[in-house]
Structure 1
Amino acid sequence: MLTLLFAASTAMTVAWCTSMPSMDDMPMPGGWTLSMMWMPMGEPSWWGAALSFLGMWTVMMIAMMLPSLAPVLWRCHQGVSGHGAASPAWLAMIVGVGYFVVWAALGALVFSVGAALASFEMAMPALAREVPLGVGVVVLLAGALQFTRWKSHSLACCRREPERVPANAGAAWRHGLRHGLHCVYCCAGLTSILLAWGVMNLRAMMLVTLAITAERLVSAATPMVRTIGATAVMAGLLLVLRALGAA
């Protein structure tokens, strides 16, 4: 079941990403292009554009987060089975739905902020020229976030075994929401890198997915988190220097 879901969500995400180059991105001051997915181009309204983005975002998050979520769902399934619950698969599915509802809510926020920024950048050429520098700063700060106590605490919450196995639908739903919230906190820096690099960039998506999965599943999490952070800091510095050199 999880394998089929992962395969389907990945295939849909790849299809969306590979179709993006055929769309007319807008060249912007500063030598970058603005993706029209932030605009209601061809859509009946902003609501239509938002719903389209939200659907795309949710499917993309399933593809990206399922590799690190699958062990959590499996442990939930096994724990519920061990306690004699009648439908462990159903309760594990509710945990997963609750988890991705949190990511969908983040997607709504991302679209609101992204659409507002796109409008400002189109109206203010001076702001648009600073976007390459802003991207470098975001990547740099996201890398630095990997070294903070806040990141360590958030990651520990994601890796921690639940104290209680959800025994009913309500408990499973709450567990999914809680785990999703911990995950959003933990992935704040890496998600920021994805958004800065390009939310529909397949290479960025693959690298961020690998980073998230690695820091969740490897036995020695701290060295992995710091390696990812150091790599992001160096990449951010290079982007900042390149933006300043082009200014």
Structure 2
Amino acid sequence: MEHVRATGGREMPGRPIDMPVSQRAFLGVSALLFAVSAAVTIVSAASMSAMGEMPMPGGWTMSTAWMRMCGQTWPGLAASFLGMWIVMMVAMMLPSLVPMLWRYRVAVGGTGETRLGGLTVLVGVGYFLVWTAFGMAVFPLGVALAALEMALPALARAVPLAAGVIVLMAGALQFTEWKARHLACCREAPGRCLMLPGLPADAATAWRHGLRLGAHCSYCCAGPTMVLLVVGAMDLRVMAVVTAAITVERLAPRGERAARVIGAGIAGGGVLLIARAVGLG
């Protein structure tokens, strides 16, 4: 602050105020967590790819993520899937979550609260708990659908067309008011959507904020998540594209417009998948 006083209370151009140590630590830990989760995701995807995929009627292949390997139990498969899912979600969602956590820290720090580290961790854990619950719901549905597709060749042959229709629907979802409402809640600073003004900055409030943020985020990401699950849950290229799309619509200056542009791209991909499926049929 010496340079401020020396210039009559004005900041010197090109002389930014130093970032507090706690904020630098927050960014450093976030970067490290992203790097580790991304590396583990890449290794897991490579391992799944090395195991191969099962050719299915209709000219497509099924991921081994939904199938038990020799000597593997169902609880073991579920635990393996959930572990991969959590790490993948951390890698995919952290780029757009960090700015929201930063805004939370600024809002709470403005009240004089000094336990920013612990409260931030609670928000993050609550956020990813919602995504963990989502993965727990996805796994049995995926396993059941895989079993039906292996038992019913006619159903398996319809998968490419169904995948195209689902991707088309995911693109259309990007244009809805429902999407816009949840995207607005994800983009704004803590306020009416996420944390009511006047509530104490304590552990319970941080936990609720993380859960609400996770719920809004999972609703907002419904379209891209559908694409991820249908096109390739462990395909690194699909994960990278979906991560970029989610990050852009959260952080771009015109988020709603970005979401619609992304929706148009997704819908176009759905049309191409449908055309390809009809041509193969």
Which of residues 99, 104, 108 is equivalent to 2:136?
Answer: 108
- Report the counterpart of residue 191 of structure 1 in structure 2: 225
- Asked if the contact 2:113/2:201 (under 8 Å) is kept, the reply is yes
Larger radius of gyration: 2
Q: Give identity over the alignment, percent.
A: 56
Q: 1:166 to 1:194 in 2, by over 3 A?
A: farther
**TM-score normalized with structure 2 length:** 0.85
Check if 1:16 corresponds to 2:44: yes
Asked whether the 8 Å contact 1:80–1:166 carries over to 2, the reply is: no
The match for 2:273 is: 239
After superposition, the C-alpha distances for 1:76-104 in whole angstroms (9 at most, x for unaligned) are: 12222221223111101110000000000
- 1:43, CA displacement in angstroms? 5.2
Paired residue for 1:30? 58
Q: 1:208 aligns with which of 242, 250, 268?
A: 242
SS at match of 1:83: coil
Partner secondary structure for residue 149 of structure 2 = helix
Alignment-mate amino acid for residue 219 of structure 2: Y
1:92 corresponding residue in structure 2? 120
Give the whole-Å Cα distance in 2 for the aligned partners of 1:24 and 1:231: 29
Aligned AA (1:8): V
- Give the conservation status (yes or no) of the 8 Å contact 2:104–2:189: no
Q: Which amino acid aligns with 2:31?
A: T
From the two aligned structures, give the one with the greater helix fraction: 1
TM-score (norm 1): 0.97
3-state SS of paired residue (1:41): coil
Q: Is the aligned partner of 1:181 residue 2:215?
A: yes
SS in 2 for 1:85: coil
Shift of 1:18: 1.6
Deviations 1:199-221 (A, max 9, x none): 00001000000000000001111
Q: CA deviation at 1:230?
A: 0.7
Q: Say whether the 8 Å CA contact 2:103–2:190 is kept in structure 1.
A: no
Helix, strand or coil for the counterpart of 1:27?
Answer: strand
CA RMSD between the two structures: 1.2
Offset of residue 222 of structure 1 = 2.0
**Structure 2 unmatched runs, 5+:** 1-28, 192-196
The amino acid of 1:90's aligned partner reads: G
Rounded Cα–Cα distance in structure 2 between residues aligned with 1:153 and 1:42: 46
Pair 1:206–1:233, CA change in 2 (3 A): same
The separation in 1 between residues aligned to 2:98 and 2:71, in whole angstroms, is: 35
Aligned to 1:67, what secondary structure does the other structure show? helix
1:152 is the counterpart of 2:180? yes
Letter in 2 for 1:48: G
State the one-letter code of the partner of 2:244. Answer: L
Deviation digits for residues 109-134 of structure 1, max 9, x if unmatched? 11111001000001000000011111
Task: Give 1:24 deviation, angstroms.
Answer: 3.3
Work out which of the residue numbers 187, 194, 203 in structure 2 matches 1:169: 203
Is this contact kept in 2: 1:43–1:49, CA < 8 A?
no
Distance in 2 (CA, whole Å) between partners of 1:217 and 1:197 is 25
CA distance in 1, matches of 2:49, 2:82: 20
For 1:62 and 1:175, locate their aligned partners in 2 and report how far apart those are by CA, in whole Å.
18
Q: Does 1:142 align with 2:176?
A: no
Cross-structure match for 1:218: 252
1:56 pairs with 2:84? yes
Secondary structure of 1:174's partner? helix
